[in-house]
Structure 1
Amino acid sequence: MYAIVTLAAGLLFGLGLAFSEMTNPTVVLGFLDIFGEWNPSLIIVMASAITVGMIGYAVKRKRMAPMLASKWQVPTLRHIDSKLIIGSSLFGIGWGISGYCPGPGLTALVNNPSEGFYFVAALIVGSGLHYFQTRITQK
């Protein structure tokens, strides 16, 4: 059942990305270009995501555990540190340069393979570097 719900959630997420045109880097870059040809249409996407998140936290407050797991898995860190600032800055810069974030970037492997390949390769290399850097600093 867990695998079916996970697959359904992934499909719903992918359909939402496609329907909202978050998989189109031109639309995303148009949204990020607030001093040029700004395209405010993705505000609806953000508002929808925030609403879903708020509903999720409301459900969490009312239930002791999720329906298909033994406990909730919610981030516990609440402080802002250099890792958070640097990581979110790198994410934002990469998103602003390419028009892709990880979810839509994976869809680019099908929609726009030449760009998608480079994006996903950079995503894998960056994730690998972070993984090995974390392993080294923990020893």
Structure 2
Amino acid sequence: MTRPALPALVSGTLFGAGLALGGMTDPARVRGFLDLFGAWDPTLAFVMGGAVLVMAIVWRAVPRMQTPWLAEAFHLPTRADLTPRLIGGAALFGIGWGVAGLCPGPGIAALVIEPGAAAIFVAAMLAGMALVRLFEAKSA
């Protein structure tokens, strides 16, 4: 394994472990969070809040750094416009998340915990990604 791959492996493992410990690989927990007028489960709000807190601290620290620790330069977003593609993708992501109770990170992490159900989600996700590339290639 090359040196640049090690931080990615450690980060991915930590992310997956956090998702599993937070219960985000359980679709019932995610659907419980989205069920505002039924048996609402606030667990996901705490997981999201923890992520937002960490990101807020890092986002404030980045401008004070000359370069990142493990790269030659920062790769920060430069666009702030809302396009139909962005809005449509966000809507599709949200609908899929609500229906399946999984999003890409927890879906992949769930392959270890509950491979049968997660494999269906991951296969559908990969098929959707392939379809988008196919349609974008045809429209270009």
- TM-score w.r.t. the length of structure 2 is 0.91
- Match for residue 29 of structure 1 among 31, 37, 45: 31
Q: Distance in 1 between matches of 2:56 and 2:139?
A: 35
Residue identity in the other structure for 2:107: G
Match of 1:64?
A: 66
Shift of 1:3: 1.7
Bigger relative contact order, structure 1 or 2 (CA pairs below 8 A, ≥6 apart): 2
Residue identity in the other structure for 1:110: V
Q: Distance in 1 between matches of 2:104 and 2:118?
A: 10
Asked if residue 104 in structure 1 is aligned to residue 131 in structure 2, the reply is no
Runs (5+) with no aligned partner, structure 1: none
Identity of aligned residues (%): 42
Q: How do 1:113-124 and structure 2 match up within 5 A? A: 113-124=115-126
1:32-78 Cα distance to aligned partner (Å, 9 max, x none):
11111101121111111111211221221111221121111122210
Q: Could you say what secondary structure the match of 1:74 adopts? A: coil
Residue identity in the other structure for 1:37: A
- The alignment's C-alpha RMSD in Å is 1.3
Runs (5+) with no aligned partner, structure 2: none
Q: Could you say what secondary structure the match of 1:134 adopts? A: helix
Q: Distance in 1 between matches of 2:104 and 2:62?
A: 26
Q: Distance in 2 between matches of 1:114 and 1:12?
A: 23
Residue identity in the other structure for 1:42: L
TM superposition outliers: structure 1 runs of 4+ over 4 Å: none
- TM-score w.r.t. the length of structure 1 is 0.92
Residue identity in the other structure for 2:102: Y
Q: Distance in 2 between matches of 1:131 and 1:52?
A: 33
Q: Distance in 1 between matches of 2:33 and 2:81?
A: 29
Aligned residues: 138
